[in-house]
A and B are shown apart, each in its own frame.
Chain A
């Protein structure tokens, strides 16, 4: 089918005009959006500049004096929330307390329940962060559903808000959330669980199923006992050494190393000969911290282990023993009849210490 040339020309002309109009419209729209953003940014910066000196005056006024802070108009409260949240990660002690008082006095927290359900993820995250930072206990119940939020950083901040409250009523949902995460993330999430404090450990002992039935939470238990250096958990850690699961035993060894109780040496030493190398590696580390000079013969044996990680930890363990361990390492490094694996790892450890100017 052939169209008359005049009609084709007209269509082309109109098409070009419409396209040109659309492009111009889009450019104008972009310019307007950009202009608005620039204006908002300038306004935000101006607000920040006004609040910054006011905040330092507020935080560091003379003791017993009334704390002054200029009134924040309703329309600026959203910006003010973000302004304040820049400081909560930095300040502790009296200043953090004063910051909380300011936050509550301005009534910014009244909008939290609404913001926790906001469709924009960054708003939900900000709300969870404020609940954590300013310890808004009455909103904690509304934070729990955010543990199922589709956006990972929102769930992370929600979990932090719950753990930092220290309220063990939220231990179960947070623990379930941690256990539902990928394994590689779980140890990182340990930092979140630490927020509950060492009181979580007796709670776990009371509420967890036996390790044979549900081993994963006990790995967390052991790692938490280590990071809190919770001596009261030592008896349970020793029991975990008898659970025939390498991950649990390795975590228990790690925790026992952190506790560094010499009385646990007889329980740790046999694991230096275990067939699973991750256990031998953890045992080597632990022996250096709890064994004293008695551990030197077994650590020397371990420096010729076929697995590099075990040899490395054994050499590290010897260095951790102080003068006696370092002398043994020097002897190994210089002995031409020593096992080549042992000699190499001893030399490597001594060179490493030498480069850093300490042993």
Chain B
């Protein structure tokens, strides 16, 4: 069971995908903020108390890789927010690059929304139960 007021930032340029992810996460009782690219995502992260981030890799303006780097450059606690990267690209090098940049997990499309929720839950548990 998710703690009350858990807030998730979904950064995704494809509106169809974003809507599906948002609907599924809202079903879990999470509050979801949507951004269409990394710049908007970073802006939202500054202004809201975000607990988890999911981001697409390929986006205009600022891609997911840059977004991960920018977030990790922020001071804690915002700089330590768990990040799940979602990409349609199964390139091994990209995965390594993103994980090395500080992403906590990586999923490739097509995704199962239930698996996504489970991974976010695990990430949340790891981060917040570790204190």
**Interface range on chain B (Cβ under 8 Å from partner):** 10 to 19
Q: B16: CB under 8 A from chain A?
A: yes
Q: A190: CB under 8 A from chain B?
A: no
Report A337-358 CB contacts with B as 1/0, cut-off 8 Å. Answer: 0000000000000000000111
Interface majority SS (helix, strand, loop, mixed), chain B:
helix
Of A56, A89, A90, A358, most B-chain CB atoms within 10 Å: A90
Assembled-state Cα–Cα distance A52/B100 (Å): 36
Give A80 Cβ to nearest chain B Cβ, in Å. Answer: 14
Contact in complex: A94, B109 (CB < 8 Å):
no
Q: Which residue of B lies closest to A87 (CB)?
A: B16
Contact in complex: B113, A95 (CB < 8 Å):
yes
Contact in complex: A90, B110 (CB < 8 Å):
yes
Q: B114: CB under 8 A from chain A?
A: yes
Q: How many A-B residue pairs have CB under 8 A?
A: 57
CB interface residues, B 13-46, toward A, < 8 Å: 14, 16-17, 19-20, 23-24, 27
Task: Write out the residue numbers on chain B whose beta carbons fall within 8 Å of the beta carbon of A238.
Answer: none
Q: A86: CB under 8 A from chain B?
A: yes
Chain A interface residue count, Cβ-Cβ cutoff 8 angstroms: 19
Task: Write out the residue numbers on chain A whose beta carbons fall within 8 Å of the beta carbon of B100.
Answer: 356-358
Q: Which residue of A lies closest to B107 (CB)?
A: A92
Task: Write out the residue numbers on chain A whose beta carbons fall within 8 Å of the beta carbon of B23.
Answer: 56, 59-60
Contact in complex: A90, B16 (CB < 8 Å):
yes
Task: Write out the residue numbers on chain B whose beta carbons fall within 8 Å of the beta carbon of A86.
Answer: 16
Q: B111: CB under 8 A from chain A?
A: yes
Q: Which residue of B lies closest to A88 (CB)?
A: B110
Q: A328: CB under 8 A from chain B?
A: no
Q: A93: CB under 8 A from chain B?
A: yes
Report B98-128 CB contacts with A as 1/0, cut-off 8 Å. Answer: 0010000000011111110000000000000
Task: Write out the residue numbers on chain A whose beta carbons fall within 8 Å of the beta carbon of B24.
Answer: 56, 59-60
Task: Write out the residue numbers on chain B whose beta carbons fall within 8 Å of the beta carbon of A56.
Answer: 19-20, 23-24
Known: A59-B20, A356-B100, A358-B100. A92 touches B111 (CB 8 A): yes
Assembled-state Cα–Cα distance A246/B13 (Å): 44
Q: Which residue of A lies closest to B17 (CB)?
A: A90
Known: A60-B27, A357-B100. A94 touches B112 (CB 8 A): yes
Q: B88: CB under 8 A from chain A?
A: yes
Report A73-88 CB contacts with B as 1/0, cut-off 8 Å. Answer: 0000000000000111
CB interface residues, A 27-73, toward B, < 8 Å: 52, 55-56, 59-60
Give B73 Cβ to nearest chain A Cβ, in Å. Answer: 13
Assembled-state Cα–Cα distance A59/B88 (Å): 21
Assembled-state Cα–Cα distance A91/B114 (Å): 10
- Within 8 Å by CB of A93, from B14, B19, B20, B113, lies B113
Give A265 Cβ to nearest chain B Cβ, in Å. Answer: 23
Task: Write out the residue numbers on chain A whose beta carbons fall within 8 Å of the beta carbon of B115.
Answer: 92-93
- Within 8 Å by CB of B111, from A60, A91, A357, lies A91
Question: Which 9 pairs across A and B sit closest by C-beta, in order of nearness?
Answer: A93-B112, A56-B23, A92-B110, A86-B16, A92-B112, A90-B17, A60-B27, A91-B110, A95-B113
Instruction: Please give the residue numbers on chain B whose beta carbons come within 8 Å of chain A beta carbons, in ascending order.
Output: 14, 16-17, 19-20, 23-24, 27, 88, 100, 109-115
15 additional A-B pairs beyond A90-B17, A91-B110, beta carbons within 8 Å, are A52-B16, A56-B23, A59-B24, A59-B113, A60-B113, A89-B109, A90-B111, A91-B20, A92-B110, A93-B114, A94-B112, A94-B113, A95-B112, A95-B113, A96-B110
Instruction: Please give the residue numbers on chain A whose beta carbons come within 8 Å of chain B beta carbons, in ascending order.
Output: 52, 55-56, 59-60, 86-96, 356-358
